Amino acid sequence: MKVMILGKATARSEAGEFGSPEEFAAMNQFNEELIEAGIVLAGDGLQPSSKGKRVAFDGDGEATVTDGPFAETKEVVAGYGIWQVSSIEEAVEWVKRSPLRDSEVEVRKILDASDFDPSFADLIASAEERAR
């Protein structure tokens, strides 16, 4: 199963602070362990929300663009990972080993064909084929 790891923003990450050299080295070591375990498919950190934008759509599909920064850091993503694991519990166990402090990480399963009614199988297969 594929999961997305969402690292939530903190006051430090929103200020553009990426940690001390020791903190950076510890996170790098953790990421190397993930890579050696063969579970990392993708991942990166993100710039602070002050350098981002949000696009909101109303019921008619009209878009409103809001420039960052965004007030609620707990709803801002500071980084992400996409992992291939056997279960969401395995992903949680890996996250618990991370060197993060004063942080929050969300772990979510990425939808796949097994999450849909079997009647969608042909639609999903053709959509995936077109995407390739």
Q: Where are the domains positioned within the chain? A: 2-131
pLDDT of residue 73: 67
Residue 93 one-letter amino acid: E
Tell me the mean pLDDT in the region 17-31. Answer: 93
Nearest to 94 by CA among 2, 1, 5: 5
Q: What is the pTM of this model?
A: 0.83
Question: What is the distance between the alpha carbons of residues 42 and 73, in angstroms, rounded to a whole number?
Answer: 23
3-state helix, strand, coil in the chain (%, to 5): 40, 25, 35
Give tens-digit pLDDT for 26-60: 999 999 999 999 999 999 999 999 999 999 999 99
Question: At residue 76, what is the residue type?
Answer: V
Task: Note the pLDDT of residue 124.
Answer: 75
- Burial letters 5-38, b for 16+ CB under 10 A, else e: bbbbbbebbbeeeeeeeeeeebbeebeeebeeee
Between the two ends of the chain, the Cα-to-Cα distance in Å is: 19
- Does residue 129 carry a pLDDT above 70? yes
Query: Are the C-beta atoms of residues 77 and 56 closer than 8 Å to each other?
Result: no
CATH topology of domain 2-131: Alpha-Beta Plaits (3.30.70)
Average confidence (pLDDT) over 72-90: 91
* CA–CA dist 82, 130 (Å, integer): 22
Query: Higher model confidence: residue 86 or residue 70?
Result: 86
